[in-house]
Copies of this chain bind each other. A is one copy, B any other.
Amino acid sequence: MTTTERPRRADAERNVKRLLEAGAQVFASTGTALPLEEVARVAGVGKGTLYRHFPTREHLLAALLAATFADLADRAAQLRAELEPMQAYEAWLAEFDRMPAGYRGLRSVLVEALGDDASVIATACGPMKEETARILADAQAAGMVREDITANDLLAVVAGLPEGLRRGAEAHPWLGVLIDGTRTPASARSTR
């Protein structure tokens, strides 16, 4: 996002591209614990080159996930524009919950990133978090969702739903449980 795009030597640029392709491939097959040595090998570059461009595993993961996060932020904005507050809220959480499927370990990486604002991945999540905050605020303003929760924690809790819950393609009840649980309680609606 705010990365300064300095001009790069042609070979450096080519290597970054190869590393991202190799990273995506190894990430898809191995998950978030992807062996960095293998990424360099698949990319056909030295390990030092990987380290020069991506000083930590989180930097590589952030780069690999950046496009997905940006797309998701756009999708959230779209849902907010098209749907009523509570429908947008439910639809967006369902999309967010679906995202980490198939990437081993991504849920816990997301939980960690959402719990540490200083994390490199948290930065990549920024626009997504802002859209979530808007959607949540709309639903709260409409009196549909309890006021004592934050967008950041909401995403963290959804991301923290265990991977194993999805048996085959069938939907699990837990996202619905969470959404129901965040509705404004009947007691609060009548007394206020």
Contacts and interface: CB of A to CB of B under 8 A. Distances in A.
Interface stretch (A13-21, A59-67, A85-93, A170-178): A170-178
A179 B115 CA distance: 23
Interface in A150-178: 153, 156-157, 160-165, 172-174, 176-178
A152 to B, nearest CB: 9
Most B-side CB within 10 Å, residue of A148, A156, A162, A163: A162
| Oligomeric state, in copies | 2
Given A180-B181, A181-B177, A182-B177, A163 B115 contact: yes
A156 B162 CA distance: 7
Contact of A160 (B161, B173, B177, B179): B161
B162 A157 contact: yes
A108 B161 CA distance: 11
A169 B108 CA distance: 24
A109 to B, nearest CB: 11
Chain A interface, DSSP helix/strand/loop, else mixed? helix
B108 A164 contact: no
Interface in A43-59: none
Size band of the A side of the interface?
A: 20 to 34
Nearest to A115: B164
A116 to B, nearest CB: 8
A142 interface: no
A177 B174 contact: no
23 contacts: A114-B162, A114-B164, A115-B162, A115-B163, A115-B164, A116-B164, A146-B173, A149-B173, A149-B174, A149-B177, A153-B174, A156-B164, A157-B174, A160-B160, A160-B162, A176-B181, A177-B181, A177-B182, A179-B181, A180-B180, A180-B183, A180-B185, A181-B182
